């Protein structure tokens, strides 16, 4: 068996980090090839997610200079998850194992060695897990960890403190390819594939250039997308809430009747106002949640393509 490794790196407006990232990764790959851990035909593939800057031009230049670099150009910006998926699905026929990572190398590339070793020992999926977040700001740390906790509470089981830095074998990728959903949330779906899995711990560093393309707003959207595409727990929670309110209303009924017969019926304007607003708000919120799911169904029935590839640059010769 050959051990061809492909790195897949989604890039959105990353002209500032690409030169440094490509140099570091090239060194890492040459080292691994030299030590016969991976095959000569291993490649570094950058996925350009519709960048507005010179990212794609830089990728083309890298590819011309050294065939270890390849590129996938998406027809437009589709977001990190789709760009990653596009990369994985495109390279899976060429590689025996694929590692996905971010362009800013916040995820320590030293972990690649360990991931490859685990693959060679027969592991199909190796998750990169952040051992600490010392380099992240307090705000980023709090929002990011809150993100994982909320996801799990809502029924979307993900690996804690694991983003999309992971190794997948070819057969794991073939498993992933069978999940045909349009709203694919990788971190939730990958653990469903099964096979032998393992984790590798690493320290998360700082972004060395450029700025984060994942502000809080996008992270919240990702969390909602993740939850609604993985589980129906929120709907079940609404049912539970409805049941609870029904029980309360029986209490209220008895209370009102008692008040009526005592003859003190005028008081209670405040209670009435409060409950009208509270129940109204709850109903709207519940409708919204149910609507989210209906929206998902609508999008799924359309079965639109998750990405469109404009160009794939890859030199497969030795």
Q: In angstroms, rounded to a whole number, what is the distance separating the alpha carbons of residues 185 and 298?
A: 17
Decide if residue 13 touches Mg ion (CB under 5 A): no
Nearest to 94 by CA among 39, 147, 166: 39
Q: For residue 49, state whether it binds Mg ion (rule: CB under 5 A).
A: no
Q: Are 227 and 155 in contact (CB under 8 A)?
A: yes
Q: How far is the CB of 207 from Mg ion (least distance, A)?
A: 5
Per the structure block, which two tokens stand in for 26? 């090239």
Kindly write out the interface string for residues 69-108 of this chain, putting x where it contacts Mg ion by CB under 5 A and - elsewhere.
---------------------------------x-x-x--
Least distance (Å) between residue 201 CB and ligand UDP: 18
Which residue from 234, 186, 229, 225 is spatially nearest to 88, judged by alpha carbons? 186
> Interface residues for Mg ion in 206-245 (CB under 5 A)?
none
Of the residues 40, 134, 212, 232, which one makes contact with ligand UDP according to CB under 6 A: 212
Q: Interface with ligand UDP includes 10 (CB under 6 A)?
A: yes
Q: How far is the CB of 144 from ligand UDP (least distance, A)?
A: 8
311 phi/psi in degrees, rounded to 5: -155, 145
Contact status: 79 vs ligand UDP (CB under 6 A): yes
Closest of 163, 196, 192, 198 to residue 179, by C-alpha: 192
Binding of residue 213 to ligand UDP (CB under 6 A)? yes
Query: In whole angstroms, how close is the CB of 209 to ligand UDP at the nearest point?
Result: 11
- How many H helices and E strands in the chain? 10, 8
Q: How far is CA 282 from CA 130, 233, 270, 274, in A?
A: 38, 17, 18, 12
Considering only CA atoms, give the Rg of the chain: 25
Which one of 11-19, 224-232, 259-267, 294-302 is the stretch in contact with ligand UDP (CB under 6 A)? 11-19
Question: CB of 137: closest distance to ligand UDP in angstroms?
Answer: 11
Greatest extent of the chain over all pairs of C-alpha atoms, in Å: 93
**Pairing assessment for the beta strands 5-11 and 43-48 based on DSSP bridges:** parallel
CA 139 to chain centre: 20
Copy the structure tokens of residue 238.
């609404």
Helix (H) or strand (E) holding 3: none
77, interface contact from Mg ion, ligand UDP, none, CB < 5-8 Å by kind: ligand UDP
Site for ligand UDP in 116-145 (CB under 6 A): none
The residue among 96 and 102 lying less far from Mg ion, judged by its C-beta, is: 102
Binding marks (x or -) toward ligand UDP, 96..115, rule CB under 6 A? ------xxx-x---------
70 versus 79: smaller Cβ distance to ligand UDP? 79
> CA-CA distance, 254 to 222, in Å (whole number)?
45
Nearer to Mg ion by Cβ, of 96 and 107: the residue is: 107
Question: Residues binding ligand UDP: what is the number (CB under 6 A)?
Answer: 16
* Residues engaged in binding ligand UDP (CB under 6 A): 10-12, 14, 49, 77, 79-80, 83, 102-104, 106, 212-214
* Residues engaged in binding Mg ion (CB under 5 A): 102, 104, 106
């Amino acid at each position: 068996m050959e051990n061809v490794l492909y790195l897949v790196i989604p890039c959105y407006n990353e002209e500032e980090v690409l030169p440094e990232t490509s140099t570091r990764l090239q060194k890492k790959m040459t080292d691994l090839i030299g030590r016969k851990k991976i095959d000569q035909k291993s490649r570094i593939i950058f996925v350009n997610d519709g960048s507005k800057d010179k990212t794609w031009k830089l990728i083309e230049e890298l590819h011309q200079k050294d065939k270890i670099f390849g590129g996938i150009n998406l027809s437009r910006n589709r977001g990190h998850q789709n760009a990653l998926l596009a990369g994985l699905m495109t390279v899976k026929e060429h590689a025996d194992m694929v590692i996905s990572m971010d362009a800013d190398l916040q995820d320590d590339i030293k972990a690649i060695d360990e991931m490859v070793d685990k693959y060679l020992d027969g592991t199909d999926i190796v998750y990169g897990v952040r051992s600490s977040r010392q380099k992240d700001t307090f705000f980023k740390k709090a929002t990011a960890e809150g993100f994982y906790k909320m996801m799990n509470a809502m029924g979307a089981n993900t690996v804690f403190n694991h983003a999309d830095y992971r190794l997948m074998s070819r057969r794991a990728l073939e498993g992933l390819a069978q999940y045909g959903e349009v709203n694919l949330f990788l971190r939730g779906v990958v653990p469903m594939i099964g096979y032998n899995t393992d984790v590798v711990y690493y320290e998360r560093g700082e972004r060395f250039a450029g700025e984060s393309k994942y502000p809080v707003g996008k992270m919240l959207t990702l969390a909602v997308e993740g939850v609604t595409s993985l589980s129906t727990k929120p709907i079940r929670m609404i049912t539970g809430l409805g049941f609870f309110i029904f029980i309360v209303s029986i209490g209220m009924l008895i209370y009102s009747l008692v008040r009526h017969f005592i003859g003190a019926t005028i008081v209670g304007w405040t209670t009435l106002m409060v409950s009208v607003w509270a129940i109204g708000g709850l109903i709207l919120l519940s409708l919204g949640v149910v609507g989210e799911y209906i929206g998902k169904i609508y999008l799924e029935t359309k079965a639109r393509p998750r990405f469109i590839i404009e160009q794939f640059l890859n030199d497969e010769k030795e």
